[in-house]
Amino acid sequence: MTQALVNVPAKAKRGEVIEIKTLISHPMETGYRHDTNGAPIPRDIIHTFVARYNGEEVFRADLHPAIAANPFITFFTLASESGVIELTWTPDHGEPVTQKANITVE
Amino acid sequence: MLGNDSEKATRRHFLAVAGGVALAPLLLRSARATPDTMGAAIREVVGEAPVREGKIALELPPLVENGNAVPMTVTVESPMTAAEYVKRIHVFNEKNPQPVIATFHLGPRAGKAKVSTRVRLADSQKVVAIAELSDGSFWSASADMIVTLAACLEESP
């Protein structure tokens, strides 16, 4: 199973710039390697990562095979209101993985 | 004489390009991005716009033992207001199989234009980060890296 870890502060002051740290387990198979029989191993990477804050897209990353296995991404966003930060990773194969975190803004 | 020289240079250039094309299929397995393909990938993003140095900082360790997971942080100087913000950050490399590493899309809502991740580097090479600002200007920074153990392009065991 693909596992995602996210670190979003539970509480923030209105207007504060908060850091969001994310990590997901994924091999990020480049498509440039070969197995023991010499057959190419097909590419399987997470190609898109999107962060939404109460439904509004606040950060997006287009990823390529040069991103290390188990992609680790950190970015910043403005704590505007209480709600949900939703993070979605989309792989080449299989279903997108979504992780949600609640934030309380005072 | 002058014309002759430039003609020679053109022919030499043509032969080099033709040779490269002819050899490409033979070298497919070890095919790599080159400074030229990186330049072309950058042109695809910036178009004809000038790319100036500054405003952006690219942090990478100068020497890494293992190219499989190299920590990278890109920071752009910007007030991040509705009027003036960073739209995108593009990261390129010279010698991986593909010249593009990642594109990060930001907006005025980011508050701070700073992104960190971990990258793969197939060889000692130059990494270039380009910031695309809301006014349409492009700013770049580069880092030269020495990688002692390259990211796995070799066969798996």
Domain edges within chain A: 4-105
| Mean per-residue pLDDT, A7-25 | 96
Of A34, A60, A68, the CB nearest to B119: A68
Residue where the block lists tokens 């920590």: B71
Q: Which residue of A has its CA nearest to B66?
A: A68
Of A72, A73, A78, the CB nearest to B111: A78
- A10 token code pair: 């539970």
Average pLDDT value for chain B: 84
Query: Is the domain defined by B32-149 classed in CATH 3.40.109.10?
Result: no
Residues of chain A positioned with their CB less than 8 A from the CB of B98: 64-66
The contacts of residue A33 (CB under 8 Å, 6+ apart) are A40, A41, B152, B153, B154, B155, B156
Task: Name beta bridge partners: A103.
Answer: A83
**Of A87, A102, A21, residue with least CA distance to B115:** A21
Q: Which residue of A has its CA nearest to B118?
A: A68
| Mean per-residue pLDDT, A66-90 | 96
- DSSP states of B79-105 as a string? ---SSS-EEEEEEEESSSSSSEEEEEE
Residue B6 has pLDDT above 60, yes or no: no
Residues of chain B positioned with their CB less than 8 A from the CB of A36: 155-157
Residue A2 has pLDDT above 80, yes or no: no
**Structural domain boundaries in chain B:** 1-31, 32-149
What pLDDT does B25 receive? 43
| Mean per-residue pLDDT, B124-140 | 96
| CATH architecture for segment(s) A4-105 | Sandwich (2.60)
Of A58, A64, A73, the CB nearest to B101: A64
Cα–Cα distance, A25 to B107 (Å, whole number)? 27
- DSSP states of A20-34 as a string? EEEEE----B-S--B
- Check A77 against B111: CB less than 8 A apart: yes
What pLDDT does B9 receive? 57
What pLDDT does B13 receive? 59
Give the minimum alpha-carbon distance from A105 to chain B in angstroms, rounded to a whole number: 15
Task: Name beta bridge partners: A88.
Answer: A50, A98
What pLDDT does B68 receive? 92
- B17 token code pair: 């390009």
What ipTM describes this predicted complex?
0.94
pTM of the model as a whole: 0.84
| Mean per-residue pLDDT, A49-75 | 97
Cα–Cα distance, A102 to A80 (Å, whole number)? 13
Give the minimum alpha-carbon distance from B105 to chain A in angstroms, rounded to a whole number: 5
What pLDDT does B26 receive? 42
Count other Cβ atoms within 10 Å, centred on residue B77: 13
Strands A97-105 and A11-12: parallel
